[in-house]
Amino acid sequence: MSKRLPPKKKDRNQYVHPNPRRIYCIMPAEEAAKRPKEEFTELEIIGNVSRLSSSLWQMTSLTSLYLNNNSLTSIPGEISLLVNLAHLNVSCNKLRSIPPEMGDMQSLRELLLNHNKLVSLPTQLGKLFKLCKLELSGNPLGGRIMEIINRPSCRTEDILSYLIDHLPVPSSHPPQRPWIIMNEQELTSSCSFTVMCYNILCDKYATRQMYGYCPNWALDWSYRKKNILQELLHYKADIISLQEVETEQFYRYFKPELKKEGYDGIFSPKSRAKTMSENERKHVDGCAIFFKTDKFTLVKDHLMEFNQLAMANAEGSDDMLNRVMTKDNIGLAALLQTKPGAYRDDTDMSQLLLVCTAHIHWDPEYSDVKLIQTMMLMHEMKTFVDDILQKSNVPVPQKGDPNVIPLLLCGDFNSLPDSGVIEYLSSGRVSVSHCDFKEFVYKDCLSKFGNAAKTNEFTHPFQISRAYNDGVMPFTNYSYDFKGVIDYIFYSKLHMSVLGVLGPIDSNWLEENRIHGCPHPHVPSDHFPIVVELQLNPTLPIQLSPPNGLVLHR
């Protein structure tokens, strides 16, 4: 899996009710009244009950509720307030309907509705993607649902899949995300451009098991790819950085479609593609960089394979070999040159811009790997820039300064803002004893990444800042199990300034439509794209000069 921050999900069929053989005693009413409601996690109501007290919905700590063998004819929609409920037994009642609000009770793992008078089910029940047991026998259900139930091999997930695929889609699309102005554009000879960073969610990761709250038809790649392309063309960024792009889809879909709109692009799959057959390679995802050809020219590209870098720098470290080298994440860089006319005063000036995209390992149990991959990324970028500067006529004092060339760093770093990864990128340093290293032994094999021996820190030389300030985007990844900021755009603060950023999706729209996670029929990925407008101020422009090198133009 590419990027999930929460622990891996268990198979729904592995769920075992925590107390299959209940042993309980009847508590006197006086004692029950004295006990705080949060102490009760299980409750059984018996006695031919036909109506439920509204006070029941205040017992939000309940995980199991037994209402079976009563005379209930309906259940109020307020039952959805029991957000922690995992087991609900309302079998052997007189229920004629189920409230659609029950579909929002996404902690439910068992729902027993057998032996009632149900003739239909609300399609909202299809959103109960964690449900592993749904009992419906003994109900006068008809139509397609009954056909599915009567199959010898019928599974709970078959019923849920049918229901969610027939769930009405909200007619309202998400409101336009606001554009937030950070600085007024200066009337100088600067060049302004926009950049997008977007993890589009590779087709092979968009499974029912991972995103059971999304209809199957909305997970289908033929549906999602059109919405993804529509989103790319809506923002029309001058530079587009993408992650989780499938190899075949890059060459057969995105590159030709974006070429029609004036883009060219580069791509590389993850390292595992090298070990696969041609047919298997087509489905390996990787990173891509697209750029507007009327504004930029590609000078050179550079691939960074973290497993290869880990092997080259292991220095006998078992942790480096067993933890870091086994992850095949990559970074991809494009050295671009601005075209004459890209500047506001229509001069023939041009300069280089180094654009890098990366997709860092996803698993939260491997925070050390995330940090080391990021360190290797920055070290490789330094080496790449050094090589460029050595072949130019930059004055000798500047040949060792990678900040001579403006850097734009984008990616899905799978790391929260308070992580070691973002601390390292933002401040240029991280302690060798940072908790994200998890006390694994890396110090010796990472000695070339900064001045660890002298300062007890690992450093990188790039002076970069985050384009999005804290709080602007409450999340860039929005799934049921995790919501947070893990996608970033960094820029050289010596050469660029932020003019504006694309704001967050409307939280009211998410709440009103009860969208607990993406993808969604109106949102094609579990990530939201981030977009920034940057002003690139004139520096000492370096451009390719035939036949042998790069020449500095003052």
Instruction: Describe the strand order of the beta sheet including 285-292 as a list of residue ranges.
Output: 179-181, 496-502, 530-536, 191-199, 239-246, 285-292, 263-269
Who contacts 85 (Cβ-Cβ below 8 Å, separation ≥6)?
Answer: 62, 63, 64, 65, 79, 105, 107, 108
Q: What amino acid occupies position 81?
A: L
**Confidence at residue 188, expressed as pLDDT on a 0 to 100 scale:** 62
pLDDT at residue 153 in the model = 87
pLDDT of residue 455: 76
Q: Is the pLDDT of residue 243 over 60?
A: yes
Cβ proximity of 273 and 247 under 8 Å: yes
Instruction: Give the Cα separation of 153 and 508 in Å (integer).
Output: 41
Question: What span, in angstroms and rounded, lies between the C-alpha atoms of 298 and 239?
Answer: 12
Mean pLDDT, residues 369-396 taken together: 90
Q: What is the pLDDT of residue 450?
A: 72
% pLDDT > 90, the chain: 74
pLDDT of amino acid 552: 43
> What is the pLDDT averaged over residues 161-189?
86
pLDDT of the residue at 395: 72
Taking residues 395-411, report their average pLDDT. 88
For 384-432, give the DSSP string.
HHHHHHHTS---HHHHT-GGGS-EEEEEE----TTSHHHHHHHHSEEET
Residue 180: the pLDDT is 97
Reported pTM: 0.90
Structure confidence at residue 376 (pLDDT): 96
**Structure letter (DSSP) for residue 39:** G
For 415-482, list the strands marked E by DSSP.
Answer: 429-431, 457-459, 464-466, 477-478
Is residue 412 part of the annotated active site? The answer reads yes
Q: Which residues contact 20 (CB under 8 A, 6 or more apart)?
A: none
What values do phi and psi take at 22, rounded to 5?
-75, 135
Q: Do residues 242 and 267 make contact, with C-beta atoms less than 8 angstroms apart?
A: no
* Average pLDDT of the chain, as a whole number: 89
Which pair of structure tokens corresponds to residue 497?
A: 């300034």
Q: Which of 285, 412, 436, 487 is catalytic?
A: 412
Average pLDDT, stretch 425-449?
Answer: 89
On whether the CB atoms of residues 362 and 8 are closer than 8 A, the answer is no
All residues at 6 or more sequence positions from 468 whose CB lies less than 8 Å from its CB, including other chains: 485, 488, 489, 501, 530, 532
Q: Has residue 72 got a pLDDT over 70?
A: yes
Contact (CB, 8 A) for 304 and 377: yes
User: Of 45-49, 181-185, 450-454, where does mean pLDDT reach its minimum?
Assistant: 450-454
DSSP H helix total and E strand total for the chain = 15, 24
345 falls in which pLDDT band (50, 70, 90)?
low
Higher pLDDT, 13 or 209: 209
245 in Cβ contact with 257 (< 8 Å):
no
Query: pLDDT for 519-539, tens place per residue?
Result: 999 999 999 999 999 999 876
